[in-house]
């Protein structure tokens, strides 16, 4: 992320602007929706690069405006920067994309399981970490 006074931040992602937009949306979804709802939306968006935000948010329309506002404002930029810093702290450069990290240290050998069972594994780890029943 490039930031200059009196200018909009400029985002740089490995796969271009669409990836940056989705990364910001993911952050805002996780911030604005209750965890169980956020899981299903993020998992929906992760299934296919071309999946539309509106399609994934169909069951959660009441949150759509707050997520969009977040993604288009300073809060989205702040979340993007926080997540970018976390990514840089995992492994630089990442071995491949998507690289999924649940626990530290990063475990390269867990990647196939994460890619095949993302919904279940993400929910299990998140619920365990934050003691969500």
pLDDT tens, position by position, 8-24: 778 888 888 888 888 99
Task: Judge whether 76 lies within some domain.
Answer: yes
d(CA 114, CA 52): 22
d(CA 20, CA 83): 11
User: What is the total count of domains within the chain?
Assistant: 1
**pLDDT mean across residues, the chain:** 85
Task: Judge whether 11 lies within some domain.
Answer: no
Task: Judge whether 3 lies within some domain.
Answer: no
Q: What does the pLDDT look like over 45-75, one tens digit per residue?
A: 888 767 788 999 999 989 999 999 999 999 9
Query: Is the per-residue pLDDT at 77 higher than 80?
Result: yes
Domain membership of residue 27 as a residue range: 17-130
Task: Judge whether 22 lies within some domain.
Answer: yes
Contact (CB, 8 A) for 93 and 99 = no
Task: Judge whether 49 lies within some domain.
Answer: yes
Task: Judge whether 66 lies within some domain.
Answer: yes
Task: Judge whether 6 lies within some domain.
Answer: no
Task: Judge whether 60 lies within some domain.
Answer: yes
């Amino acid at each position: 992320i490039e930031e200059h006074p009196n200018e909009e931040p400029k985002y740089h992602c490995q796969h271009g602007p669409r990836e940056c937009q989705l990364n910001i949306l993911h952050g805002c979804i996780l911030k604005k929706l209750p965890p169980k709802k956020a899981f299903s939306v993020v998992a929906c968006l992760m299934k296919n690069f071309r999946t539309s935000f509106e399609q994934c948010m169909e069951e959660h329309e009441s949150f759509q405006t707050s997520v969009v506002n977040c993604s288009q404002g300073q809060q989205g930029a702040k979340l993007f920067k926080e997540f970018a810093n976390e990514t840089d702290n995992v492994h630089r450069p990442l071995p491949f994309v998507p690289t999924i990290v649940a626990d530290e240290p990063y475990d390269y050998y867990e990647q196939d399981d994460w890619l095949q069972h993302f919904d279940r594994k993400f929910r299990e780890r998140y619920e365990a970490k934050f003691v969500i029943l």
